[in-house]
């Protein structure tokens, strides 16, 4: 296939096999944890798509993850026994009862101001669909405005950063609607054809693993199309692309929206696995952490950024088991970031890439030596 | 037959300063027109006006008879105007081949480019252009690793494969060695006929190599227009260049 050389294909295939084989070696508790990291892996890929391929550093990727998470959590909250306990015909989230004005009807339509927004989420698939579509649509609108104005570079980062903080403020402020700082907890399980996705069951791990593999493959194929090449062209010189007749903002917006959809999907799956959605997803530190994952793994590589995210989180989990290292870990991550940015701008995947290239260049001489030896 | 490129009273006002001040000219199909003028005469600004980088405050630009005045840059490009900037610009992170592929795409929308393969005729054309610009051996190299001259040729190749009917070249030999300049003249001469060219150039030896007709700009206006010999002996042109290095 165009642009997909052999060892790249095997790298993807290798990861797929590894992910699908993990349940053979780990227990459910560990798999649940890994499933969360796989969601982070999706985030890494989403960041690589915009940062590495489009040259657009989104410092508010957490916004799309957060929307995906909250949309799914709203639906799962209404499936939860805590919402069904109230004795009303329609389920009502428990926190709304505590936040309701005295005398307000115990109904989703009007128990708290704006609570009707929750109504469509009684259907579980609303959560699933909104989690992916809303980030894409929102990114499409943002992209049209930002890129249409020929805004680029650090200004895009500042705008996206400001936006995620703004939304976080709104979410934490709207206590009667979102449960504010506490986020949405005590969620029900996703149910598909009467199969319940118990977060600690292997089926749920497979759901996430297969989703990650599909996302990575789709994203890799997407950047290998002509549109992907043109996107990279706009990254290198948007004027040159413009004067070749390309509507540069349209390309940037399209891939920005794809990246947002991936982040939304990641947020949705994360909620299924972790059973909560929290405004901490909208914190700046989280969005910046994603950028670090992608930088260390290699922003020029979809696979590299995803693997970077997964590995860093696995190591972090190990490290945090040792009390003394918990604080030191933040410093380690910071140093790791600085070192990769300075010495390894293409990240670990760049290192692997160069290694492969060197190996290839060498191979003929190896063969010569062997033949001479015989 | 309509001219390939027609400028009609084109002018731009930079808050009081008229860098281009009522330029009218017509460049015929397949012609190569050289634009001469001292530093600051308004040559680059004129190209900015044609390609849509800067909006004209007065006048009109017609490409193949079609009015493109005031359109956005990528729309003007699609109307058939290709442009090379004074500072060479290619896609440095892509290979030479990918650079040409990007330039080649006939359909500009995102959706129509969600596909892989080039057609047979496209592949053949790409190979042909690679040969023309002498970068056949560099096809799989990253464009950022090319020499200055090679970068310029790649950009010329991109304009060829883009199949623009009107090509604007701003100082295509700037910073080149003599050998590179000669090769560039050769490439440009091949473009003649198939494309209509407007070329800004200072190097008179190079101009004699490629030019048919010359238009001289001075302070944003057309000072003279004619054959190479006519321009070289034109008293007003000589006067305009006086005190500079002279026209030869
Ligand atoms: N955006 C702008 N705003 C104000 N003045 C401008 C602008 N662009 C160009 N100028 C002025 O217009 C004049 C013409 O500039 P232009 O770059 O077109 O000259 P040129 O003929 O290309 O010169 P050179 O041979 O040095 O490239 C210059 O005096 C320049 O300072
Ligand atoms: Mg100039």
- A289 assigned to some structural domain: no
Site from B47, B51, B74, B85 to mutate, A interface, most A CB atoms within 10 angstroms: B74
pLDDT for position A367 = 43
A194: phi then psi, degrees, rounded to nearest 5: 60, 10
**Ligand 2 centroid distance, CA of B221 (Å):** 15
- A248 assigned to some structural domain: yes
Q: How far apart are CA A225 and CA B69, in angstroms?
A: 34
- A313 assigned to some structural domain: no
pLDDT for position A93 = 87
If you measure CA to CA, which chain B residue comes closest to A1? B116
Nearest to A255 by CA among A59, A69, A46: A46
Structure tokens at A8: 């790249």
pLDDT for position A87 = 64
- A347 assigned to some structural domain: no
Element (H, E) at B223: strand B221-227
B145 pLDDT higher than 50: yes
The distance of A244 to chain B (nearest Cα, Å) reads 6
Pair A43, A267: CB distance under 8 Å: no
ipTM of this predicted structure? 0.89
Q: pTM for the complete prediction?
A: 0.89
If you average pLDDT over residues B120-136, what whole number do you get?
91
pLDDT for position A257 = 97
The distance of B146 to chain A (nearest Cα, Å) reads 15
Give every CB contact of residue B8 below 8 A, 6+ residues apart in sequence: B24, B59, B60, B61, B62
- A355 assigned to some structural domain: no
- A88 assigned to some structural domain: yes
pLDDT for position B209 = 84
Pair B156, B178: CB distance under 8 Å: no
Tell me if B113 and A226 make a contact (CB, 8 A cut-off): yes
- A220 assigned to some structural domain: yes
Which residues of chain A make contact with B158, given a CB cutoff of 8 A?
Answer: 240, 244
If you measure CA to CA, which chain B residue comes closest to A238? B91
Q: How far apart are CA A56 and CA A139, in angstroms?
A: 13
Structure tokens at A81: 């026994």
Convert the pLDDT of each residue in B177-196 to its tens digit: 888 899 999 899 888 888 99
pLDDT for position A1 = 40
Tell me if B114 and A1 make a contact (CB, 8 A cut-off): no
How many structural domains is chain A composed of? 1
Q: How far apart are CA A36 and CA A31, in angstroms?
A: 9
pLDDT for position A230 = 96
Alpha carbon nearest to ligand 1 atom 11, residue: B19
Pair A12, A216: CB distance under 8 Å: yes
Task: Give residue B22's region: left, alpha or beta (phi > 0; psi -120 to 50).
Answer: left
Angstrom CA distances, A233 to A128, A148, A281, stand at: 34, 17, 32
Range of the domain at A114: 25-282
Write out residues with Cβ below 6 Å of ligand 1.
B 14, 17, 19, 37, 39-45
Q: How far apart are CA A329 and CA B246, in angstroms?
A: 69
Structure tokens at B88: 């060479």
Helix axes A124-148, A248-274, angle to 10 degrees: 150
pLDDT for position A275 = 92
Q: How far apart are CA A25 and CA A19, in angstroms?
A: 11
Is the torsion defined by CA of A240, A244, A250, A255 positive or negative? negative
Per-residue pLDDT of chain A (374 residues; tens, 9 = 90+): 444 457 788 899 999 999 999 999 988 999 999 999 999 999 999 999 999 999 999 999 999 999 999 999 999 998 888 777 766 677 888 888 888 888 888 888 888 888 889 989 989 999 999 999 999 999 999 999 999 998 888 999 999 999 999 999 999 999 888 999 999 988 989 888 888 898 898 999 999 999 999 999 999 999 999 999 999 999 999 999 999 999 999 999 999 999 999 999 999 999 999 999 999 999 999 999 999 999 999 999 999 999 999 999 998 888 888 877 888 888 888 888 888 888 888 888 888 888 887 877 765 544 444 444 33
Pair A187, A199: CB distance under 8 Å: no
Nearest to B90 by CA among B153, B172, B48: B153
Domains and CATH numbers, chain B: 5-242 (3.40.50.300)
Site from B99, B100, B110 to mutate, A interface, most A CB atoms within 10 angstroms: B110
- A16 assigned to some structural domain: no
Pair B153, B126: CB distance under 8 Å: no
**Ligand 1 centroid distance, CA of B203 (Å):** 19
Structure tokens at A307: 């693997």
Structure tokens at B152: 């310029």
Q: How far apart are CA A76 and CA A270, in angstroms?
A: 12
Convert the pLDDT of each residue in B49-95 to its tens digit: 999 999 999 999 999 999 999 999 999 999 999 999 888 899 999 99
């Amino acid at each position: 296939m165009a642009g997909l050389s052999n060892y790249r294909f095997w790298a993807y295939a290798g990861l797929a096999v590894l992910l699908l084989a993990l349940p053979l070696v780990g227990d459910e508790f560990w798999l649940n944890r890994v499933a969360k990291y796989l969601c982070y892996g999706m985030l890494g890929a989403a960041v690589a798509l915009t940062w590495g391929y489009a040259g657009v550093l989104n410092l508010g990727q957490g916004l799309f993850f957060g929307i995906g998470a909250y949309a799914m959590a709203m639906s799962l909250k209404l499936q939860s026994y805590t919402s069904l306990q109230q004795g009303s015909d329609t389920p009502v989230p428990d926190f709304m009862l505590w936040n309701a004005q005295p005398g307000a009807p115990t109904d989703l339509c009007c128990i708290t101001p704006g609570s009707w927004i929750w109504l469509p989420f009684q259907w579980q698939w609303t959560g699933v669909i909104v989690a992916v579509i809303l980030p894409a649509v929102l990114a499409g609108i943002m992209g049209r405005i930002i890129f249409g104005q020929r805004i680029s570079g650090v200004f895009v980062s500042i705008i996206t950063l400001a936006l995620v903080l703004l939304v976080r403020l709104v979410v934490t402020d709207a206590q009667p609607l979102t449960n504010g700082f506490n986020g949405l907890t005590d969620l029900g399980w996703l149910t598909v054809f009467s199969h319940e996705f118990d977060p600690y069951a292997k089926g749920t791990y497979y759901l996430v693993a297969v989703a990650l593999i599909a996302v990575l493959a789709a994203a890799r194929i997407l950047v290998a199309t002509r549109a992907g090449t043109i996107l990279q062209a706009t990254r290198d010189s948007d004027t040159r692309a413009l004067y070749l007749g390309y509507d540069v903002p349209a390309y940037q917006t399209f891939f920005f929206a794809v990246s947002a959809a991936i982040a939304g999907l990641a947020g949705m799956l994360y909620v299924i696995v972790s059973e909560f959605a929290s405004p901490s997803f909208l914190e700046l530190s989280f969005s910046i952490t994603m950028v670090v994952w992608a930088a260390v793994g290699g922003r020029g590589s979809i696979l590299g950024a995803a693997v970077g995210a997964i590995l860093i989180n696995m190591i972090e989990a190990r490290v945090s088991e040792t009390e003394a290292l918990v604080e030191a870990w933040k410093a380690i991550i910071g140093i790791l970031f600085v070192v990769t940015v300075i010495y390894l701008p293409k990240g670990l995947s760049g290192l692997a890439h160069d290694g492969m290239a060197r190996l290839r260049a060498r191979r003929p001489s190896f063969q010569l030596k062997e033949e001479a030896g015989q | 037959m309509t001219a390939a490129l027609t400028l009609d009273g084109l002018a731009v006002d930079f808050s009081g300063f008229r860098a281009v001040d009522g330029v009218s000219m017509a460049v015929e199909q397949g012609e190569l027109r050289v634009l001469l003028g001292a530093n600051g005469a308004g040559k680059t600004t004129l190209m900015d006006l044609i390609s849509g980088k800067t909006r004209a405050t007065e006048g009109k630009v017609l490409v193949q008879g079609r009015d493109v005045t005031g359109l956005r840059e990528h729309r003007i490009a699609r109307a058939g105007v290709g442009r090379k900037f004074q500072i060479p610009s290619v896609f440095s992170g892509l290979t030479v081949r990918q650079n040409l592929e990007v330039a080649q795409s006939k359909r500009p929308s995102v959706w129509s480019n969600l596909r892989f393969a080039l057609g047979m005729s496209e592949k053949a054309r790409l190979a042909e252009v690679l040969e023309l610009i002498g970068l056949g051996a560099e096809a799989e190299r990253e464009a950022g690793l090319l020499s200055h001259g090679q970068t310029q040729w790649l950009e010329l190749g991109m304009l060829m494969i883009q199949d623009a009917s009107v090509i604007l070249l701003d100082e295509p030999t700037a910073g080149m060695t003599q050998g590179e300049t000669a090769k560039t003249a050769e490439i440009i001469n091949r473009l003649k006929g198939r494309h209509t060219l407007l070329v800004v150039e200072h190097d008179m030896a190079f101009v004699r190599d490629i030019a048919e007709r010359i238009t001289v700009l001075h302070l944003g206006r057309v000072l003279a227009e004619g054959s190479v010999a006519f321009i070289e002996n034109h008293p007003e042109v000589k006067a305009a260049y006086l005190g500079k290095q002279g026209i030869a």
